[in-house]
Amino acid sequence: MDLDLEWDVPLRHRKGADERLCGIDVYHEFEWREVFRDERTQFKNGKCLASFVQDRCPSGKTPALLLTLRKGLKQGFHQTANFAVFVVNLMEYRTTAGNAALSYLANHLDVDITDIDQLQELAASADPEALRTFIESHLDLGHITEWAHANEERLRRLRDIVGPADPEQTTLAETLAAFDAAGGFSAPDIRAIADFFGQSSDREQRLELLRAVTADPSGRYVTGEVFAERTPQRIQDARGAIDAYQALLEDESTTESAMQTFIENNLWLLGLDYAVMRPRRAGPSGVTDFLLERYDGFHDLLELKSPHDELIRAPDLSEGGGVPLPHEYALSRTLAQALAQAIVYRDRLTRHAEAANELCGLPHTRDPRLIIVLGQAEVLPEHRKRVLVELNKSFHRIDVVPYDVLAKRAKAVLDNVELYLVATREASEGTEREAA
């Protein structure tokens, strides 16, 4: 459905990321890559804003965000016949701290929100003294804290009322300046700073910190050095993940959804080529399971089924009997459907690559490799397993991979890395002994 909003500049459209922007429609005045570093339709604190707009959207209308960089525009809800469009100055919003949606709205009280209108009507009709008594009886420190939270102007007004604090409140910029003036840090100092961004901090906050650290060549170099130092721990983490993955496979109650979540959180199980897994989404190709973005920027398509699904159908071997006749073999219904479904996805992504880029922010989707993960190879008798092997030999850019084979491949990669590290360490120690 086209946006029925009269606007003074052309608008571009894309779908918000399912996790970070709740899949909301996003309209923007600018070229996306001129503002963001990649094609992902998401931004800091965007989820709470998208949730707010969706919750406040009237029944029968479509919620949407309209992102602008221009100052002086009326921000907030613009109602049309079909949409509830929330206009937001992106640069201003991204600098809002705390619960960004609520803090932002607190600074833009001219926003057309039904609840505020109703409160204003109630206040206008009430006796002023009775209204004052009611507010004072319900107002407490918690309400004042929420009112002033992350709002510098309101904090300033409170400080003016109560007088200067002792010691004075310092801003983050002042704190960082004090850090800089302190000079070099000891190891305990650095650990204390690291603990602040430890496991209890928000994942997005840690990502933003890492992006900032690696923004220049020196930062990227030293980060790579630390990654190399952490290789033994990373291998240990990976082996722990494989053990957890194996436990899921052995549990008969494990669902397809549970396996999808685990693989999404451990993308390396699919190989070391992939940087990002884009979860299930609607697009020109229909509703795909997952798109895998490779490090070269191109995409492969992943179709996940249940680890308990059948792969190849054929009669069991009887004692003393021969193998089944060729016409008695067949692909399982799930595998046949997954193959056809994935091929259709690839055809549509290839024929409509420009639409996938424009509507969904997915560049380079043409001719993706297809990976279909289902079933387990260990439960297959040998005569069925050979059919699966021959099937994969005959395919072009299609790989049917049982879930347990993924675990074996990942374990082999880790074994090879460890062998390389041992050989490198022994060679280095030998060189040092010769030099001594």
Can you give the pLDDT at residue 427? Answer: 81
Given a cut of 70, is residue 121 above it in pLDDT?
no
Q: Is the model more confident about 296 or about 166? A: 296
371 beta partners: 302, 399
* Average pLDDT for 43-58: 87
Cα 126 from Cα 119, distance rounded (Å): 11
With 0-12 / 13-18 / 19 or more C-beta atoms within 10 angstroms meaning exposed / middle / buried, residue 262 is middle
Residue 241 main-chain phi, psi, to 5 deg: -65, -40
Tokens of 253: 């109650």
Can you give the pLDDT at residue 85? Answer: 94
Tokens of 185: 């840090």
Given a cut of 90, is residue 24 above it in pLDDT?
yes
Given a cut of 80, is residue 151 above it in pLDDT?
no
Can you give the pLDDT at residue 131? Answer: 62
Pair type for strands 83-89 and 76-79 = antiparallel
Residue 44 main-chain phi, psi, to 5 deg: -60, 130
Given a cut of 90, is residue 344 above it in pLDDT?
no
Q: Is the model more confident about 38 or about 167? A: 38
Tokens of 241: 């993940």
Is residue 184 very low, low, confident or very high in pLDDT (cuts 50, 70, 90)?
A: low
Can you give the pLDDT at residue 116? Answer: 44
300 beta partners: 292
- Give 222-269 pLDDT, tens digit per residue: 888 888 888 888 888 888 999 999 999 888 888 888 888 888 888 888
- The rounded mean pLDDT for the chain is 79
- Give 273-290 pLDDT, tens digit per residue: 888 887 655 554 455 568
Residue 114: other Cβ atoms inside 10 A: 10
Sketch out the chain's domains with CATH numbers.
12-118 (no CATH), 126-162 (no CATH), 200-229 (no CATH), 234-411 (3.40.91)
* Average pLDDT for 124-149: 63
- DSSP H/E element including 161: helix 152-162
Residue 290 main-chain phi, psi, to 5 deg: -140, 145
65 beta partners: 26, 86
Residue 337: other Cβ atoms inside 10 A: 13
* Average pLDDT for 154-172: 62
Cα 78 from Cα 64, distance rounded (Å): 10
Q: Is the model more confident about 226 or about 140? A: 226
Is residue 181 very low, low, confident or very high in pLDDT (cuts 50, 70, 90)?
A: low
Given a cut of 50, is residue 140 above it in pLDDT?
yes
Is residue 101 very low, low, confident or very high in pLDDT (cuts 50, 70, 90)?
A: low
- Give 397-422 pLDDT, tens digit per residue: 899 999 999 999 999 988 888 888 88
Tokens of 9: 């500049």
Cα 93 from Cα 73, distance rounded (Å): 14
Q: Is the model more confident about 182 or about 157? A: 157
Given a cut of 60, is residue 115 above it in pLDDT?
no
Q: Is the model more confident about 290 or about 115? A: 290
Is residue 215 very low, low, confident or very high in pLDDT (cuts 50, 70, 90)?
A: confident
Is residue 205 very low, low, confident or very high in pLDDT (cuts 50, 70, 90)?
A: confident
Q: Is the model more confident about 134 or about 394? A: 394
Longest dimension (CA), the chain: 99
Given a cut of 60, is residue 113 above it in pLDDT?
no
- Give 314-341 pLDDT, tens digit per residue: 998 887 778 889 999 999 999 999 999 8
Given a cut of 80, is residue 87 above it in pLDDT?
yes
Can you give the pLDDT at residue 74? Answer: 84
Can you give the pLDDT at residue 111? Answer: 43
Pair type for strands 12-15 and 330-331 = unpaired
Is residue 388 very low, low, confident or very high in pLDDT (cuts 50, 70, 90)?
A: very high
Q: What pTM was computed for the model?
A: 0.52
> Is the CB of residue 76 less than 8 Å from the CB of residue 111?
yes
Can you give the pLDDT at residue 278? Answer: 74
Q: Is the model more confident about 264 or about 130? A: 264
* Average pLDDT for 58-70: 93
Cα 238 from Cα 268, distance rounded (Å): 9
Per DSSP, the residues of 67-78 read EE--SSSPPEEE
